[in-house]
Structure 1
Amino acid sequence: MRGDGEKVEWRKLMWSNYGVPKWLFILYLALNRRLSTKDRMEKWGVTSYLTCPLCQVEDEDIDYLFFACKFTAGIWKKLLAWQIIHRTEGWWHEEIQWATTYMKSNINKAKVYRMVLVGTIYHVWIERNNRIFQSKQRNEEFMIRHIIKEIHGRGTHHRKIGSRL
Structure 2
Amino acid sequence: MGEWFAGRNSETANAYGFFMPRGPEVSWASLVWRPEIMLKHRFILWLLAHGKLQTTNRMAYVENKTCMLCQCQDESNGHLFFECSITCTLWNKVRRWLEINHEVNSIEELFHILGHYYKGVSQRMKVRYLEISSMIYVLWEAHNRCLYEGIVPDIDRILRKVQINVYHLWIYVEIEVIHLAKAWAVQIIRMVQIVLKLISSANEFHRRINFIGERRRLYN
TM-score (norm 2): 0.65
**What is the aligned partner in structure 2 of residue 112 from structure 1?**
127
Which of 109, 133, 139 is residue 94 of structure 1 equivalent to?
109
CA distance, structure 2, for counterparts of residue 90 and residue 74 of structure 1: 12
CA shift for structure 1 position 96: 2.8
CA distance, structure 1, for counterparts of residue 25 and residue 111 of structure 2: 15
Gap regions ≥5 residues in structure 1:
none
* 1:158 alignment partner, SS class: helix
Q: Which runs of 4+ in 1 moved over 6 A?
A: none
Q: Do the aligned partners of residues 12 and 103 (structure 1) sit closer, same or farther apart at CA in structure 2, a change above 3 Å counting?
A: farther
Percent identity reads 25
CA shift for structure 1 position 7: 2.1
Paired residues of 1:67 and 1:73 also in contact (CA < 8 A): yes
CA distance, structure 2, for counterparts of residue 104 and residue 133 of structure 1: 38
Higher normalized contact order (CA 8 Å, seq sep 6+, divided by chain length): 1
* 1:59 alignment partner, SS class: coil
TM-score (norm 1): 0.85
**What is the aligned partner in structure 1 of residue 209 from structure 2?**
none
CA shift for structure 1 position 66: 0.7
Gap regions ≥5 residues in structure 2:
1-15, 178-220
CA distance, structure 2, for counterparts of residue 86 and residue 11 of structure 1: 23
**What is the aligned partner in structure 1 of residue 157 from structure 2?**
142
* 1:36 lines up with 2:54 in the alignment: yes
**What is the aligned partner in structure 2 of residue 7 from structure 1?**
25
Question: Pairwise CA RMSD of aligned residues?
Answer: 2.0
Q: Number of paired residues?
A: 158
Q: Do the aligned partners of residues 135 and 105 (structure 1) sit closer, same or farther apart at CA in structure 2, a change above 3 Å counting?
A: same
CA shift for structure 1 position 31: 1.2
CA shift for structure 1 position 97: 2.5
Which of 56, 73, 78 is residue 63 of structure 1 equivalent to?
78
